[in-house]
Structure 1
Amino acid sequence: MRDVLDPDSDRGRVYRSLVGHPRESAGRLADRAGLSEAVVRAVLKELAAEDIVMTTGAGGAEESWEALPPTQVVEALLQRDAARWTALRQTGTELEQLYRFARRDAGHYGALEVVEDAARVLAVSGQLQRSARHQLRAIDMPPYSGTVDHYLGQEALQRERMADGVVYRTIYHGSVCDDPIAGPNMARMIAAGEQARALDDPPMKLAIVDSELAVVTLAADDHPGVVSLLVRPSSLFRALSNVFESLWRLAVPVTTTGTGTQLDARDRQILTLMASGATDDAIARRLGLGRRTVVRRVAVLLAGLGATTRFQAGVQAARRGWL
């Protein structure tokens, strides 16, 4: 739908022509847009189905067309992204709660315990996983301070717990693939069954076990190293749980399989048009391909990128340097 505002796209040319020349026939629109009448009629049919244009004539050769107001079209585009913005706002509100709670004296908030000893911080991670009965949700982000042995031990414990039926859902920092230890660890865990997503800049390192305990790990303010905040069931715990779920919806699925590191020119064009919001029909017309070919390639690209929507595919492709 977004490409209707692009003056270089077929849909954009037709819509722009109608905005400036109301109640035009398909033939006249074809002349103005520099397209064939068959293409214009196909575009008009698409735009009418999306409530962007409408007919004003009796049909047939005398049929004429009218554009809906641009403000109405733009509003429809904005509403399409409304859920995403709602999630962002919700995350901001919940992080504000975390900000306030984290700066209160732990002695005055019974649900919060501060752990500063480095050895105990690592021990808490293992205890969390061993106590999980249903699921463990985590946000993993730099600094990656664990040794190779630490990661191997973590992998063994995670495999054991997943074999027991514990579901692992992890949001990784977008740079994880560049880390020589954390990157391969992530790939092995995904292959073993972990559900993983990536976000460019998560706000915190977090682990949540079932509905019982959350651990926020932060850089210490007054000495080197980190501190962990252990949060038990409370309004703060619910805020952290909501933050995770909001970020999970915003994050992009990560897959260890894909279409390969090389992308041919045609697939790159398809991905670019997908990310701009173009429909399969619009992509087919723009690239001179059959619609079935486009549908097939879109499905392959979505699967290869581990994406469930065209927006996610665009983000994944951009992250991999394909666009």
Structure 2
Amino acid sequence: MSLTVPSVLAEGPAERALESLGLPPYAARVYAALARVAQATAAELSEEARVPRQRVYDVLESLIDQGLVTKGPAKPAVFHAVDPLDASAVLLGAQRENLVRLESIAADLVADLRRAWQCARAAARRAGRRDTKSADTSGDSGRITMARMEHWRDYAMHSVLATARPPFEGLGDPDWIRRVRTLTRSGGTVRCIYHSDLLDDPALVRQAAAYAAAGEEARITDGVETRMILTDSARALLTLPGADRASATGPVLMIDLPPAVEELAESFTRLWDHATPFAA
């Protein structure tokens, strides 16, 4: 994630900090000016922040949309800055979401170019010996390789399909609860099918209920055989079966081969259709 360089328009440390957190120069100046007074009209802010009158209204609307400024009912309208503590939390949250988006872009870049990069080097090294890694580096339609499930769901931009079974590790993660809320509020979909063993533990039920409150759609069935996370209809991670069915640790298979991902999505849909809606 690149850092924003404050512009020459910034007045002081507060304005420069606001720009570093992602606000445009005029918005930084208007919020900082408004935060220093109890309330102000657009005309007063235009003069105080030295923002052209024809621009100050657009700037204020943008700050209102971001939740940094509120508008009072008086005429002429007066504006109030929200608590800087809340404003900084909003701006930091936007930066974190942007970082997640950039990580997703980086993951797609790796998936798109790394195979070609490996193939080019394998071809250059050809000396009559077999390339033992050709299964991972050949072809242009996808890959099946080992990966880590941890944090992969955070790369999702518009959809997550997941299955969960004992020991239900990570359930109730507050960072993921916030991500579910962000995805669903922006029109995305988050669905999870839980193994019915979840219902035997009131603490797990409460944790699943927290996801549901954030916007996750959930169902219950005893037919969940493995853990899976399928993001954006493009890639899936599966836990491989091990000798100890009670353990969540172990090898994880990452799949972005389109036909395989499509089949996994269809399998999820079939399981979803026969599962019972979760009710806390």
| TM-score above 0.5 | no
Higher relative contact order, structure no. (Cα contacts within 8 Å, ≥ 6 residues apart) = 1
TM-score range, shorter chain: 0.3 to 0.5
- TM-score by structure 2 length? 0.44
